[in-house]
Structure 1
Amino acid sequence: MAQITLKNICKEYGDGFKAVNDISLDIADGEFMILVGPSGCGKSTTLRMVVGLEDITSGDLEIDGRRVNDLAPKDRNLAMVFQNYALYPHLSVRDNIAFPLRLGHNRIPEEEVDQRVREAAEMLELTEHLDRRPANLSGGQRQRVAMGRAIVRDADAFLFDEPLSNLDAKLRGQMRTEIARLQRRLGITTVYVTHDQTEAMTLGDRVAVMRKGVLQQCASPRELYEEPVNLFVAGFIGSPPMNFLPARVRDDRLELPMVSAPIPEGIRDELKGTEVVVVGLRPEAIKDAEVRTPPAGAVVFSSTVDVTEWLGNEQYAYVPFASDPAVQSTLEELDRDLDGEGLRTQFIVNLDPSSHVLEGEEASLFFLPEDMMVFDPESGRNLTRDDQHAAQIAERSEAARRKALERSKAKTGS
């Protein structure tokens, strides 16, 4: 295992384009770190610099305290699993997995090669497929072969570059579980690149969210969800995404498109002299008042529902609202950065499955003022972020990671 440290890493191409701009990360020994962001944010370039497939323009990359900027990929002892699996079609599964062990400089006895291959195959449930060719395997099986090749190398860290993007939705879910179980079992440092925030939230000990080559926030999935630092992180993390609503500041109230709500106590002084802000509300924070009685202090309002989606275990309602020109450009730019297909001025409500709200009808809805996040439309900063709560989440997440690593070491006897 290894500790990987990125210190002010930059990647600038010959035309002056900065794909990665001043990234600093400390990836702990045995940690599962996710690099996530929309297309073109620099996450794969960062991973390729770690493994040595891209030169580092400036900054330092250290593995266990040793600077490795100038080391060739083969000398960094990192195992990479590619998006396209990179299997040799003319070799059997057995020989594909064993390939890195049979390279000239390794000189590993064939008995040990065979043992490592069998152990990896058993771990990945590939034993019965060892004599088959990659063309005769399913996508999930090919991905496991690629993972097996990484496992047998006894590398210091695993690097995954969007390994599940070629699989269908069902297989992606299954492989997520397998990768998570494998990483915990081996307790190996893992860096995993994806554009899928569901993968990021379910797999990572910590998640580094990137935007246009710049690191926005690196934290546990729970901290990213509950205490995002800015509009971009808040909009990227969560499915369905957070609702962003324009709000005019009127004395101690926020005038939203559909209702007036009290300004959260902690930011009243900060909002003095401010005319307009962006309010973030998660879809699940808005409830149906016909199904659940609004508690004291709830903000209750009525809106006409445009579209509903019933999925059995959950239901969504889409409610249009009037935009505000003062923040429209900010929200449109955010939508483009989030790979959106064009901003629609509507908010989403995650209704109870038993709700009988119908399209075209007026629904009675409510939310709690403390569930609102308030953002500065100029800087994007989350004005309601609670740093103390964020620190508590980080502490609990790290404690859980360490316990999981200890259990892994106890099982393997390492």
Structure 2
Amino acid sequence: MSSIELKNIVKKYGDGFPAVNDVSLDIADGEFMILVGPSGCGKSTLLRMVVGLEDITSGDLLINGKRVNDLAPRDRNLSMVFQNYALYPHLTVAENIAFPLRLAKGQHSEQEIQAKVKQAADMLELNEHLERKPANLSGGQRQRVAMGRAIVRDADAFLFDEPLSNLDAKLRGQMRTEIARMQRRLGVTTIYVTHDQTEAMTLGDRVAVLKRGVLQQCASPRELYDQPVNLFVAGFIGSPPMNFLPARVEGNSLKLPFATVPLEGALAEKVKGKDLVIVGLRPEHIKDGSLGGEAGDVRFTANVDQTEWLGNEQYAYIPFEADPAVQDKLEELDRDLDGEGMRTQMIVNLDSRSRVLEGDDAELYFSPSQMHVFDPETGECLTRDEEKAAAIARDSEQQRKAALERAKKREQAKSA
């Protein structure tokens, strides 16, 4: 196991464009770090620099405190699992898993190789497939073979480059669980690249969100969700995504397209002098008014354009006209998030018991305490609470260490 530190890492290509621009990350021993962001944000380039497949233009990469910028990939003792599995079609599953051990000629006896292959196969439930060739395996099985090959190397860290993007939705869910379980059992430092924020939220101890080569925020999934630093992070994290509504500042209130929200306390001070802000509301924080509510909630009525009932939940779609003063900013954000430039609409995640139908004038409500407010010029989140963010970070780190300790005890009990 190892710690990995990135200090002001920059990658520029021939045209001088920085694909990765001044990224600094401190990845703890045994931590599961996710690199996430839309296409072209630099996450795969950053991973390839860590493993040694891309040169570092400037900055320092340290593994266990040792600078490794100039070390060849084979000398960094890192295991990489690729998107396309990179299996040898003429070798059996057992031979594919054993390949890196045989490549290190003379370092492992045949008995050691067989024991390591069996251990990896047991962990990944591949025992009955050991004599099969990759062509006869499903996508999920091939991915497990690729993971097995990484496991036997006893590497200091695992690096995953969008390993599940070739799998269907059901298999992706199963493999996410498999990868999380394996990482906890082995306690190996892991860096995992994905553009899928669901993978990021479910797998990572911490998630580094990148945009155009620049690190936006690195935090636990819960902190990213509850305390985003800016518009981009807030819009990228969460499914369905956060609703962004233009809001006029009128005295001690914010005037949204559907409702007026009273302003008080620190937020009132932060928006003083501004004519316009952007309010962020997550779909699940807007509720059906006919099913409840509390004092202090903001209630409003809106016409529902479309509904989708999914059994356990229901979505309602409510179009609105964006204020021209923030339209360009919202369109730019949509492009940054790989959006398709669809018309502006608010998504509401209703309780499955809701009887709201398309065409209805629905009574809805939300709590102002769950509202995020952003500066439309800088994108800064004006409602971020640094104390709450720090508390979430401490709690997440304690949970990470406790999970590793539980996994270690389970492994010790099995081997006893």
* TM-score under structure 2 length normalisation: 0.98
How far is 1:276 from its partner? 0.2
| CA–CA separation in structure 1 for the residues paired with 2:344 and 2:124 | 46
SS state of the match for residue 349, structure 2?
strand
Alignment-derived partner of residue 258 in structure 2: 258
Is the counterpart of residue 24 in structure 1 residue 47 in structure 2? Answer: no
Cα drift, residue 290 of structure 1: 1.0
Matched AA of 2:387: Q
**Which residue does the alignment assign to 1:369?**
368
1:269 deviation in Å? 1.4
Distance in 2, matches of 1:106 and 1:306, equals 69
Distance 1:276 1:343, change over 3 A: farther
The equivalent residue for 2:179 is: 179
Q: Percent identity?
A: 73
Change (3 A) 1:217 1:357: same
* Residue 57 (structure 1) aligns with: 57
5 Å-filtered alignment, 1:307-322, equals 307-322=306-321
- Residue 405 of structure 1 is matched in structure 2 by 404
- Indicate conservation of the 8 Å contact 1:30/1:187, yes or no: yes
In the TM superposition, structure 1's runs of 4+ consecutive aligned residues that sit over 3 Å from their partners are 411-414
Moved more, 401-410 or 343-352: 401-410
- Give the Cα–Cα distance (whole angstroms) in 2 for the partners of residues 106 and 347 of structure 1: 63
CA distance in 2, matches of 1:8, 1:239: 31
1:305 aligns with 2:307: no
Give the unaligned 5+ runs of structure 2: none
Partner of 2:45: 45
Per the TM alignment, residue 199 of structure 1 is displaced from its structure 2 partner at its CA by 0.2
Q: Which residue of 1 aligns with 2:190?
A: 190
Contact kept in structure 2, 1:332 and 1:343, CA below 8 Å:
no
Q: C-alpha displacement at 1:104, in angstroms?
A: 4.4
State the 1:273 CA deviation.
Answer: 1.2
Structure 1 residues not aligned, in runs of 5+:
none
Report the aligned-residue RMSD. 1.0
Task: Report which stretch shifted further, 337-346 or 72-81.
Answer: 337-346
Q: Contact 1:317–1:349 (CA<8 Å) still a contact in 2?
A: yes
Quote the Cα distance in structure 1 between the aligned partners of 2:5 and 2:240: 33
CA distance in 1, matches of 2:156, 2:408: 15
Deviates more, 1:280-289 or 1:258-267: 258-267
What amino acid is the match of 2:242?
M
C-alpha displacement of 1:265: 2.2
Does the alignment pair 1:96 with 2:96? yes
Are 2:384 and 1:380 aligned?
Answer: no
Superposed counterparts of 1:311-350, under 5 Å: 311-350=310-349
Residues 27-58 of structure 1: per-residue CA shift (max 9 Å, x gap): 00000000000000000000000000000000
Q: Corresponding residue for 2:149?
A: 149
Q: What does residue 389 of structure 1 align with? A: 388
Q: Could you tell which deviates more after superposition, 343-352 or 309-318?
A: 343-352
- Pairwise CA distance, 1:411: 3.4
CA distance in 1, matches of 2:342, 2:70: 45
Report the CA distance between 1:291 and its aligned residue.
1.6
Distance 2:224 2:102 in 1: 43
Question: Residue 19 of structure 1 aligns to a residue in which SS?
Answer: strand
Note the C-alpha offset of 1:407. Answer: 2.1
Aligned length: 413
- Superposed displacement of residue 403, structure 1: 1.0
Matched-pair contact (CA < 8 Å) for 1:264–1:370:
no
Distance verdict in 2 for CA 1:344–1:100, change over 3 Å: same
1:16, distance to aligned residue in structure 2 (A)? 1.1
Q: Distance in 2 between matches of 1:190 and 1:323?
A: 42
Q: TM-score, normalised by structure 1?
A: 0.98
